[in-house]
Structure 1
């Protein structure tokens, strides 16, 4: 949107007893309630677990004997406890991976926990994990692999789709509320041709679990970010055209960056494993906490949602070395983001929607309140969109945090931060594109007493719900 010329009448201060100005109109597309809940949760823990854990495999053949699955110390409450203590709000389990082995006693196959020695063939990993998540008050999600290397009907389109939807129905009706259903188009080269009835699957999920978000390359609720290293594009729109995407065949760059003129709201989910593989392997070690912090900046800090895989080991527990890294990762985030230095600043704005009176619901002070439902809004038809921060004494920081009230649409296209140098005027510190639910930018340590946050370009009047200044002494 082009900026418009400011007139003196635009900036008139209105009396305190004037009627309140209503909120600005949303700029479409906007998120659904389930998408808003998912985005605000920020992080989920992925749990890849199954026969591959015991056969030292990543993509199982579907021919491993069920007897290999025997986690003698499996404790789903431990998995959930690790997730919750590290700040994750949901756990997602590979209920069935590509090998076709089911972690619940499915009625449609004997290739499941029912045929294993674990719990004497009477176990149900899905049930134990859903119960533990519910008890801990965190969300529960499922991955049901479309590719099945064991099932004989795979390759016969109608028959296999019936089989798959039968299994999906079991999972979505037996285990309480499901927060996310994770789907993909993964399939090895040279495998049988198979047409997946994705739209039928989506409709079934909507019918049985209407609050669940559905993940795939093409949404409908959240999209793959185009890589498995947890990195969103430095420009990342939640806007997307589902008609331009195909599950298993979408341009990775389009997935990373989204679409500034997209007609659909499909935010990015950034999946990555704490280890080199997705399943646990004794010879592999987890990434460091500082590496996870870097991933955090490039996923959540770029308007994404982080899905971190932490695979349980062959005893059925999350390994101690992984737990240690997650605890350190949590402490790093706390030490950086628990204090917002901007809260000590005197804030002002180039304009405020409804006039610059003290009781305006859209004043600049809103950017210091956590959450997206209070926000600064400028007056309409302005050419200057600026938040001014003045401190009583100099402050030092090297991280900028910005959030938009995405319930009204994603608006900011370009922005920058500038500081007032002694006698030398304003100098730009950092610039960025797209904000969305959350943007984090790092730069060399800055010491200043006066700052301006400036929106340079926006889809309509920009709205800012949070502005944070933080110190990170850990990143390289």
Structure 2
């Protein structure tokens, strides 16, 4: 009897240890899972300075107020046209800069006097955030909001700190913090459920004297992805604004937050932001990567806002497709920056290119030759007939975490299994292309994993 009791206790202890180990492996929360599954989004940059018809200079825009806020006058504003252009590209969510570096708010704010309430346009009753959210919901796009609070040229704020010294500075800082917290509450309570709330350059933390925004977002928008402050990052910047990440790219990270982009600590910025670009397979926190880039980033330009005469800077189709392979195809969510113009419309050339991009990605990946699921070390696809194959797509069930550490792909050729490609991280999606092979069977072999692999999708394609 003692032997059975002893065996039972040992077995129970072992099972408890395994369960505890499983529990320690990071997995996404609901908003992270939805964000990764979305794969492609856009961010619309809009602010006062696009109406002055001059080139954007970031250093000046952060420090010199716009002389006359009544230059804001988009006479042909069509928010649905903006959203339709995003949908044509295949985007599943869209984000609007409700405030950026000028500090001007594109909505009706009771806390920020420097907002659409102050302008003559639409008699001071315009609300771009409302129009944007309504258009997104009409066209089945998830709406998100971007809030720039790190800089504010109108209120004299740099890196969250109001300019000045002494008691005056302290009082103005209190006012600014309260104003920002009030605006965040307005965004979180007036426009329904939001998909993501993005703080430009991060939102610092109250311990450093900055506005305290995290509790507000978590209280009123618990289902929105929080991106981000020094306390929490539910996603991470991918280390560049090239629309790409490195490979491998793991969704896990050693820290719960990432710091603020270019001013983050050396532990994250070292080696050209390698940690942001690649993640850490042994990281304790689920912090998936974002790849962002402006659509107008070609010909040595990098334009997040519309400027006159920049029509030739829209990325050509082949560069956008390459960007997709090196972002979505490497387990990262791609976000393209779009630039509505001073008339209130997305420029015609940009709209055309977005549609071309969406059509091309759809042409390549909408209809696989086969799509299977599986568990365990080997997942095999048997084709109905011998076919040309040159792409594969793999996706783990990331709701259970990232389990695969190393894999290879083999094709059955002349009755023998031959290797055609290999890799490490998979995550939500891994796309690989290879030299064309003719085969009736192809298989995924997981060579290393930290638990039983769960393959949510294994697809093969013949992309011409």
Q: How does 1:415-454 map to 2 (within 5 A)?
A: 415-422=407-414, 425-454=416-445
TM-score by length of 1: 0.80
Please name the residue that 2:183 is paired with. 167
Deviation readout 1:182-217 (Å, 9 max, x if unpaired): 113379xxxxxx94647x311110011111101137
Q: How far apart are the structure 1 equivalents of 2:133 and 2:184? A: 15
User: How many pairs does the alignment contain?
Assistant: 406
Q: Given that residues 233 and 258 in structure 2 are in contact (C-alpha distance below 8 angstroms), is that contact kept between their aligned partners in structure 1?
A: no
SS of the aligned residue for 1:242 comes to coil
Tell whether 2:316 aligns with 1:288.
Answer: yes
Tell whether 2:117 aligns with 1:125.
Answer: no
Q: How does 1:465-476 map to 2 (within 5 A)?
A: 465-473=456-464
Q: Choose the corresponding residue for 2:249, options 203, 221, 236.
A: 236
Tell whether 2:283 aligns with 1:269.
Answer: no
Q: Given that residues 216 and 224 in structure 1 are in contact (C-alpha distance below 8 angstroms), is that contact kept between their aligned partners in structure 2?
A: no
Deviation readout 1:128-153 (Å, 9 max, x if unpaired): 11122222232111111122121157
Q: How far apart are the structure 2 equivalents of 1:404 and 1:319? A: 38
Q: How far apart are the structure 1 equivalents of 2:96 and 2:388? A: 42
Q: How far apart are the structure 2 equivalents of 1:25 and 1:214? A: 25
Tell whether 2:461 aligns with 1:458.
Answer: no
| Structure 1 portions without partners, runs of 5+ | 1-23, 188-193, 344-367, 369-374, 379-384
Q: How far apart are the structure 2 equivalents of 1:457 and 1:69? A: 57
Q: How far apart are the structure 2 equivalents of 1:74 and 1:202? A: 32
Q: Choose the corresponding residue for 1:211, options 199, 223, 235.
A: 223
Q: How far apart are the structure 2 equivalents of 1:217 and 1:418? A: 44
Q: How far apart are the structure 1 equivalents of 2:229 and 2:319? A: 26
Please name the residue that 2:34 is paired with. 37
Q: How does 1:292-303 map to 2 (within 5 A)?
A: 292-303=320-331
Q: How far apart are the structure 2 equivalents of 1:319 and 1:394? A: 46
Q: How far apart are the structure 2 equivalents of 1:54 and 1:202? A: 33
Q: How far apart are the structure 1 equivalents of 2:321 and 2:79? A: 26
Please name the residue that 1:151 is paired with. 155
Please name the residue that 1:28 is paired with. 25
Tell whether 2:277 aligns with 1:279.
Answer: no
Q: How far apart are the structure 2 equivalents of 1:467 and 1:52? A: 47
Q: How far apart are the structure 2 equivalents of 1:331 and 1:113? A: 37
Q: Given that residues 26 and 407 in structure 1 are in contact (C-alpha distance below 8 angstroms), is that contact kept between their aligned partners in structure 2?
A: no
Q: How far apart are the structure 2 equivalents of 1:405 and 1:195? A: 39
Tell whether 2:87 aligns with 1:74.
Answer: no
Q: Given that residues 48 and 104 in structure 2 are in contact (C-alpha distance below 8 angstroms), is that contact kept between their aligned partners in structure 1?
A: yes
Kindly state the Cα deviation for residue 166 of structure 1 after the two structures are TM-superposed: 1.4
Q: 1:111 to 1:376 in 2, by over 3 A?
A: same
Q: How far apart are the structure 1 equivalents of 2:411 and 2:421? A: 10
Q: Given that residues 62 and 101 in structure 1 are in contact (C-alpha distance below 8 angstroms), is that contact kept between their aligned partners in structure 2?
A: no
Q: Given that residues 234 and 288 in structure 2 are in contact (C-alpha distance below 8 angstroms), is that contact kept between their aligned partners in structure 1?
A: yes
Kindly state the Cα deviation for residue 463 of structure 1 after the two structures are TM-superposed: 1.5
Deviation readout 1:311-347 (Å, 9 max, x if unpaired): 111100111111111111111111111221135xxxx
SS of the aligned residue for 2:138 comes to helix
Q: Given that residues 233 and 257 in structure 2 are in contact (C-alpha distance below 8 angstroms), is that contact kept between their aligned partners in structure 1?
A: no
Q: How far apart are the structure 2 equivalents of 1:269 and 1:197? A: 25
Deviation readout 1:56-79 (Å, 9 max, x if unpaired): 325323333102211100111111
Kindly state the Cα deviation for residue 387 of structure 1 after the two structures are TM-superposed: 2.4
Q: 1:100 to 1:295 in 2, by over 3 A?
A: same
TM-score by length of 2: 0.82
Q: How far apart are the structure 1 equivalents of 2:393 and 2:384? A: 21
Q: How far apart are the structure 1 equivalents of 2:327 and 2:337? A: 14
Q: 1:27 to 1:400 in 2, by over 3 A?
A: farther
SS of the aligned residue for 1:131 comes to helix
Please name the residue that 1:50 is paired with. 47
Structure with the higher fraction of residues in helix conformation: 2
Tell whether 2:338 aligns with 1:310.
Answer: yes
Q: How far apart are the structure 2 equivalents of 1:58 and 1:309? A: 17
Q: How far apart are the structure 2 equivalents of 1:171 and 1:391? A: 51
Q: Given that residues 90 and 138 in structure 1 are in contact (C-alpha distance below 8 angstroms), is that contact kept between their aligned partners in structure 2?
A: yes
